[in-house]
Amino acid sequence: MIYPSGKRIDPGNIVPADITDTDLAHVLGRLQRWGGCTKTPITVAEHLIYCQNLANRLRHAVPGLRTNAEWAEFMVHLLLHDAHEVYIMEIRRPLQKYCKPLLALAPAVDAAIYQHFETTLPEWLPLPVPSTVMRTAIHWVDEVALVQEGIDFMPKEFAETYYPKGHPVADGLPICFHSLRGGGRRWLELLQAALLDYAAISVLDKPEDTR
């Protein structure tokens, strides 16, 4: 597959050197959520931005995260959790059972993306793929975002069928769509800021003689 950078990449044999910020931002800013079936277009980049906004609004309810350092790391994971879709595409849930070989590539693609961004951090600071606790928190926020996107962006009949009034997150969290604008460029800016926060807070936890 050829990407905007001109790189020719095999998602089945991807390495960190294949990853570029510009490719990620470009594709995430154009790749459509819900297979493009929404009433108003929403991209994967906008979904990731919304997940960050939502997590900050519901921080008290996100499970498993106790410290500021954990939250800073979580913000990075949240903004990266669908980044592998740049290389394996966004696959709607009803189709995923037919696409298992493609979905099986996601962990290796994630690892390459994480190693790419790890090079932007201090040498002593790793950027591990999400732990079980982090994955649980990501899944919680992603599910809330999915429900709200279904209500706000899918046809009324779909929302009423799958997310009826009274659903725990079906009321009171309308998406502030203007806050998502900026697409891939805005996503990259937020990710770079999250990486800086992660590094800054991690410095405080690092032994003084190794700083």
Q: Indicate whether 152 belongs to any domain.
A: no
CB count within 10 Å of CB 173 equals 16
Q: Indicate whether 148 belongs to any domain.
A: no
Q: Indicate whether 4 belongs to any domain.
A: no
Does the reported pTM lie above 0.85? yes
> How many distinct helices (H) and strands (E) make up the chain?
10, 0
Low-confidence ranges of the chain (pLDDT < 50): 170-171, 209-211
Q: Indicate whether 145 belongs to any domain.
A: no
State which amino acid sits at residue 17.
Answer: A
CATH number of the domain that 26 lies in?
Answer: 1.10.3210.10
CA angle, residues 162, 145, 155, in degrees to nearest 5 = 40
- Using N-to-C axis directions, what is the helix angle for 183-205 and 21-28, rounded to 10°? 130
Domain residue limits at 123: 18-140+180-205
pLDDT at 207: 52
Q: How far is CA 185 from CA 38, 46, 94, 168, 189, in A?
A: 22, 10, 30, 33, 6
Q: For the chain, how many structural domains are there in total? A: 1
Q: Indicate whether 194 belongs to any domain.
A: yes
